[in-house]
Structure 1
């Protein structure tokens, strides 16, 4: 049973890393290169869509890692899993304090109502998102290492 939990947790966190990595380094770059208002409209739509899914994914990943850490007991890799869970906690805190406020505004913007500094706000979101991606990559790496 513990082996199944380990695999499910690692896959769930790994998929989350893949989605967030692609948002940071592929999707947002594509959207930013679109002509006119298309990029801003795409970011708004992405903010609504992923803003509904990602909280469940982040909290679910954290819960899975915590259950793994508890179920693993005194196993030699428990420290790695606990540290990964700590990084996932950090990613949730970062999301709530730094990224969600910007996303909550951005997902409502249209070309008619967006603020003048909307690009600056998106760049700030991107910078924090890069840091968050690095944090969850660290958590994923620790979980993979705990499997060995």
Structure 2
């Protein structure tokens, strides 16, 4: 049962990392290169769509990692899982304090109600997101190492 938990946790976190990596390094650069307000429309739609899903994914990943750490407490690699879970906690805190407030504003924007600093807000979100991606990539790598 523990082996199944390890694999499921690693896959769930890995897919989450892939989505977030894709947002940072593929989707947003594509959207930023679109003419007119098309990129903005894509980002606001993404903020609504992913903003509804990602909280469950982050909390689910953290829960699975925590259960793995507790269930495998006396097994090899548990220290790596604990550190990974701590990094996932950090990613949730970063999300709540830094990214979610910007995301909540972004998801309501239309071309008619854009704030003057909308580009700066999107750039700030991107910078915070790059750091968050780095944190969850390390968490994923630790889980993969603990699995091996």
Which TM-score band applies after superposition, normalised by the shorter structure?
A: over 0.9
Q: Which residue of 2 aligns with 1:8?
A: 8
Q: What root-mean-square deviation, in Å, do the aligned CA atoms of Structure 1 and Structure 2 show? A: 0.4
1:123-138 superposed matches below 5 A: 123-138=123-138
Q: Does residue 1:105 correspond to 2:105, yes or no?
A: yes
Match of 2:29 in 1: 29
**Aligned positions of 1:6-85 closer than 5 A:** 6-85=6-85
Tell me the distance in 2 between the aligned counterparts of 1:137 and 1:34. Answer: 28
1:134 deviates by 0.2
Distance 1:31 1:17 in 2: 20
Distance 1:62 1:117 in 2: 34
TM-score normalized by structure 2?
Answer: 0.99
SS of equivalent to 2:15: helix
| TM-score (structure 1 length as normaliser) | 0.99
Shift of 1:44: 0.3
CA distance in 1, matches of 2:137, 2:26: 16
1:75 deviates by 1.1
Following superposition, which runs of at least 4 residues in structure 1 exceed 3 angstroms of deviation? none
1:119 aligns with 2:148: no
**How far apart are the structure 1 equivalents of 2:76 and 2:35?**
53
Is residue 86 of structure 2 the alignment partner of residue 93 of structure 1? no
TM-superposed deviation, 1:142: 0.2
Q: Specify every segment of 5 or more residues in structure 1 that has no aligned partner in the other structure, as ranges.
A: none
Match of 1:7, SS? helix
